[in-house]
A and B are shown apart, each in its own frame.
Chain A
Amino acid sequence: MGRAVEEAILLPKGFAILIEPDLCIGCSICELICSISHRGAFNPKRGLLAVRKDVFSGDVSILICRNCPSPPCYEACGIEGAMSMEAGGVVRINPSKCTGCKACMSACPHGAIFYDDERGICTKCDLCGGEALCAKWCPQGAIKVMGA
């Protein structure tokens, strides 16, 4: 079976994340490591990425920030200071300013921004400062860090 590398995501300092959904086994390990590192607890539904699997069709999609060159989320955000663009083009959400209006969610073409109903704000992948723990822990290489 041929494998398509879905998309290369450029990261700061010349790294890139490669996503290969065909390799994904739907184990949720990426969601678990994401939630424990960002939230301090295991809670796959409250991670900053999501794996959607359909066990009846076999379809899997990995929803993670693509770090778009001209990020539609950043452009859609109308709240002063709620989103910032860091060196290397990484968009971050400032939780103290975000109002949870979901404009960024609607603008994101990849379904990679999530609404946190506990805090009433939007959340997204912050690439773990470049460390990308999801890629480090993925047992199949469905999410990989390449480059440097």
Chain B
Amino acid sequence: MSAPFGWVGKILRVDLGSERIWTEDTAKYSRDYIGGIGIVARILWNEVLPEVRPFDPENRLIFMAGPLTGTLAPCSSKIIVGSKSPSLHPVEHSTRSSVGGDWGPELKYAGYDGLVVEGRAEEPVYISVLDEEVEIRRAGGLWGKGTFATQREIAHQLGQGAETLCIGPAGENLSRIATIQTQTGKASGHSGFGGVMGSKNLKAIAVRGTGDVRVADPDGFLRVCEYAKSIMVPHPMGGGAGGLGWTRALPDKRLLPFFSKYRRRYFSCHSCPAACDGFCSVPGVGSGSEKCDGWFYRDYAYDYHGDGSEEGDRAFFHATLMANDLGVDCFELVSMIPWLARMRDRGLMSDDAIGLPLGKIGSREFAEKLLRKIAFKDGPGEILSEGSARAAELFGRGAEELYEALWFAYGQNQHDDVRSYPIVALLWALDSRDPMIDTHAIRHLLVTRLLWPEPFGVREHERDAICERVFGSTEVADHSSYRGKARAAAICQHYSRAFSALVLCDWTAPIFSSPSTEGHMGDPAVLNGLLSAATGLEFGLEDLLRVGERIYNLERAQLVREGRRRGSDALYEYWFSNPDPSGKVIPRGEFERAKDEFYAIRGWDPETGIPKPEKLRELGLLDVAEAMSKYIQGPD
């Protein structure tokens, strides 16, 4: 059978324990789940049972592309990674992450829509995929090396054009906040999947492909691509072609002088015109990408060494490169470092207890010691390698209170303010992890775009028109109450799953708003337009959002099976009792009423938050419906 359009037709499976390598047909999953996050959710449901723990050999590590990966569709580089997560807290739930760059498209060119790894190798290995030649190779010489050296060494072994995902020492040593990295600054970061890869003794996955990705209607597909590009360019978050560069779009003035001194070029992910990645070379430190990665240390470095000082530049960039090289999640550090600083200031933490020079936060020395402690688990304070949530538990009450002020839920640190934006609070409460990671499109529309200059900024009346079109109401943009937010949250969830099934990047894809159209109106129909022209299957926008709903419900069923109930659809207590700068807290009554409304819209049981069997059957999830009926009857 020739390969289908859009998809290339096979999912590669590797069992590292038995060294068995096989493939299965993508079509088994793609009809109902399209790709990316949808196939991830289905394989997790089928194969990762509740009793499986993140570092067990039975856990799966799933890398899934979609039908647009490897094509000219703008912003189509990403893959979704899925597994049982060691970073989520207190329950190690199944969740997702994503990573851009060039690895996903390369996997498609090699002939695979995805890769699923299971088992544990007896000794360190890496997987090489050179078209149909798939091998499990010894990686003894790579174990212990940083992600930069690992990628260079594999490129040397396999030749030009190989793309590599790999872990650093943090993943090898089973840190719960370890990443899977590619290139110098792209990561599956915030779900701790680097540790899952380490638990399998899997150092890297290198791919090189020379095959085709075909689309059903090339001329029609190119027309949709051209149209999609026309409504997204100049991309405000992108560095090239007239974009603001997202470091300027955000209220972030300290990166500008840094970039003007050290940036050598912008890099983009595969098939993306946005160019978010600023490639910098800093003398005495090294070269690599800088974007949000460095936030965790930038302000501390400039406060310690002097604003705009060269030593500050070096300390901040060194910390970024080192985190990416050791494979430590930069975003976790955005909150971990202020948390350590506050504990120091309150006298709750001493240098000896944590094994760190707490008076030198902002110095190169502090960053090095902290990152090495996390990656190698050496000496006192090695608990930080387990992530801040578990460290706070160990350090006790004062530490836990300070912890809650910097994290929102599930051991995931703050991302936007849940008190200021009711829609954000609901999205957080109703997901397995930080949901903003794949709902940036709504964040841009409701928060950031109102602040940007022309041509990127959206005026309030334009925003309202966009909300009417996407949500059927402007209520989502009214941040003074929870009215209408439950329905808007459900729509956001369907869009985010639709994006992540295709797979498109929610940072950059043209969707709700545009810099270049009348009234800044975006066009969500680009999503189904690209999918239909690529695959030859007719998808309307509603069809696609229906798939999004199916995926979200399947994810929920997996969480329920792992113990999630209504009571855990929550944020930390801090956010209900400590006001934001404008005096707002999350109003508990309104918040719970919005949840009632959400469960009703979803067709979930309002007492437990479990999807009702009839809803799951309506979505075609017959086997899931049967399983869920047992949980509804059982004790909460």
A contacts, CB < 8 Å to B: 1, 22-29, 32-33, 36, 39-46, 52-53, 55-58, 60, 137, 139-141
Contacts and interface: CB of A to CB of B under 8 A. Distances in A.
B152 A42 contact: no
A139 B233 contact: yes
Contacts of B270: 27-28
Interface string B212-236: 1111001000100000010001000
A140 B275 contact: yes
A139 B229 contact: yes
Contact of B273 (A23, A41, A139): A139
Contact of A42 (B70, B148, B267): B70
Nearest to A142: B240
Contact of A27 (B183, B184, B213, B275): B275
B240 A42 contact: no
B268 A27 contact: yes
B554 interface: no
B267 A41 contact: no
Nearest to A57: B287
Contacts of B289: 55
Contact of A25 (B72, B210, B240): B240
Nearest to B234: A139
A42 B213 contact: yes
B279 A32 contact: no
Contacts of A1: 263-264
A53 B277 CA distance: 14
B265 interface: yes
B359 interface: no
B287 A43 contact: no
Contacts of B269: 27
Interface in B265-286: 265-273, 275, 279, 281
Nearest to B221: A36
Contacts of B211: 43
A28 B268 CA distance: 9
A27 B271 contact: yes
A118 B50 CA distance: 48
A60 B214 contact: no
A23 B212 CA distance: 28
B265 A36 contact: no
B188 interface: no
Interface of B: 70-72, 102, 105, 109, 148, 151-152, 160-161, 183-184, 209-215, 218, 222, 229, 233, 239-241, 263-273, 275, 279, 281, 287-289
B218 A140 contact: no
Contacts of A58: 264-265, 267, 279, 281, 287
Nearest to B108: A42
Which of B148, B183, B267 has the most CB atoms of chain A within a 10 A radius of its CB? B267
Contacts of B184: 55-56
Contacts of B215: 36, 41-42
Contacts, number: 98
17 contacts: A1-B264, A25-B266, A27-B270, A27-B273, A33-B222, A36-B218, A42-B71, A42-B72, A42-B214, A42-B215, A43-B211, A45-B210, A56-B288, A58-B287, A60-B265, A139-B241, A139-B275
Nearest to B287: A58
A8 B49 CA distance: 61
Given A41-B212, A41-B214, A22 B240 contact: no
Given A1-B264, A42-B70, A42-B213, A27 B272 contact: yes
Contacts of B275: 25, 27, 139-140
Contacts of B229: 139
B212 A28 contact: no
Contacts of A45: 109, 161, 209-210
Contact of A36 (B102, B148, B209, B222): B222
B72 A26 contact: no
A46 B131 CA distance: 14
Which of A23, A24, A39, A55 has the most CB atoms of chain B within a 10 A radius of its CB? A55
A141 to B, nearest CB: 7
A43 B109 contact: yes
Contacts of B267: 25-26, 53, 55, 58
Given A24-B265, A25-B240, A27-B270, A36 B210 contact: no
B213 A140 contact: no
Contacts of A52: 160
Contacts of A29: 72, 271, 273
Nearest to A22: B265
A46 B183 CA distance: 23
Contacts of A139: 229, 233, 240-241, 273, 275
Nearest to B265: A58
Nearest to B213: A42
B270 to A, nearest CB: 5
A28 B71 CA distance: 10
A56 B287 contact: yes
Contacts of B268: 25-27
Contacts of B160: 52
Nearest to B161: A45
Nearest to B270: A28
B354 to A, nearest CB: 33
A49 to B, nearest CB: 15
Contacts of B288: 56
B72 A46 contact: no
Contacts of B212: 39, 41-43, 46
B273 A43 contact: no
Nearest to B239: A25
A101 B289 CA distance: 41
Which of B102, B229, B233 has the most CB atoms of chain A within a 10 A radius of its CB? B102
Contacts of B263: 1
